[in-house]
């Protein structure tokens, strides 16, 4: 019989996590996005964490959650305002184990708790399938410049309004 995989857990972001999250961000971009983006595009994208102080400020200004496996951070996600997923990155060594799904589940609940009726994300091309599987629908194709490189992504939206309202009409 195989051993059960350890279950991921969630906790809030602390400023001291910044270097670890910057490393997860860079590894995730470098190793998980190569099918859809060129090396130059990946480098430009990963360069967003070069200025760690700025990167940490950005994480702190949003609602950032960290996923851990056996107490070590393996992924993170952030909610901007009440209704936009700003970041979702999983370390390649932990990919495919439900970490991204757990983070996304939590952001969807937090967004609903903040009163959002729907949630949007500017999904990278490699993550589009992940979000589509969770019920996000493509709305708009975008091209953005990051550190001098053009990168395409797709704005996707999921309605959060299909849960039954407790005490509401039957």
Ligand X SMILES: CC(C)(COP(=O)(O)OP(=O)(O)OC[C@H]1O[C@@H](n2cnc3c(N)ncnc32)[C@H](O)[C@@H]1OP(=O)(O)O)[C@@H](O)C(=O)NCCC(=O)NCCS
59: left (phi over 0), alpha (psi -120 to 50) or beta: alpha
Token representation of residue 136: 């996000």
Q: Are 148 and 138 spatial neighbours (Cβ–Cβ below 8 Å)?
A: no
Quick check: 78 binds ligand X (CB under 6 A)?
no
Out of 126, 146, 147, 155, which residue is the one contacting ligand X (CB under 6 A)?
126
Q: Max alpha carbon distance in the chain (Å)?
A: 54
Quick check: 20 binds ligand X (CB under 6 A)?
no
CB of 168 to ligand X, least distance (A): 29
Quick check: 124 binds ligand X (CB under 6 A)?
yes
Nearest to 163 by CA among 102, 118, 128: 118
> Quick one: which H or E segment has residue 87?
strand 84-90
Out of 106, 112, 118, 130, which residue is the one contacting ligand X (CB under 6 A)?
130
Q: How far apart are CA 141 and CA 162, in angstroms?
A: 26
Q: Smaller CB distance to ligand X: residue 18 or 78?
A: 78
What DSSP character marks residue 47?
G
Question: How many residues lie near ligand X (CB under 6 A)?
Answer: 21
Out of 2, 133, 143, 163, which residue is the one contacting ligand X (CB under 6 A)?
133
Quick check: 21 binds ligand X (CB under 6 A)?
no
What DSSP character marks residue 39?
H
Q: How far apart are CA 146 and CA 109, in angstroms?
A: 30
Q: Which stretch binds ligand X (CB under 6 A): 57-65, 94-102, 108-116, 143-151?
A: 94-102
Quick check: 121 binds ligand X (CB under 6 A)?
yes
Q: Which stretch binds ligand X (CB under 6 A): 13-21, 54-62, 112-120, 129-137?
A: 129-137
Report the interface residues with ligand X, using CB under 6 A. 28, 32-33, 88-90, 95-101, 121, 123-124, 126-127, 129-130, 133
């Amino acid at each position: 019989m195989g051993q059960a995989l350890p279950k991921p857990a969630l906790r809030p972001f602390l400023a001291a996590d910044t270097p670890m999250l910057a490393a997860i961000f860079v590894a995730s971009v470098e190793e998980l996005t190569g099918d859809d983006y060129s090396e130059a595009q990946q480098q430009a994208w990963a360069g967003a964490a070069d200025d760690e102080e700025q990167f940490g400020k950005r994480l702190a200004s949003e609602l950032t959650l960290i996923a851990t496996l056996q107490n070590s951070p393996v992924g993170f996600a952030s909610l901007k305002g009440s209704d936009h997923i700003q970041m979702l990155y999983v370390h390649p060594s932990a990919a495919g184990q439900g970490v991204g799904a757990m983070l996304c589940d939590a952001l969807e609940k937090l967004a609903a708790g903040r009163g959002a009726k729907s949630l949007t994300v500017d999904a990278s091309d490699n993550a589009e399938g992940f979000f589509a599987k969770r019920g996000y629908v493509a709305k708009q194709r975008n091209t953005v410049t990051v550190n001098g490189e053009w990168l395409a992504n797709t704005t996707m939206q999921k309605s959060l309004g299909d849960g039954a309202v407790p005490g509401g009409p039957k």
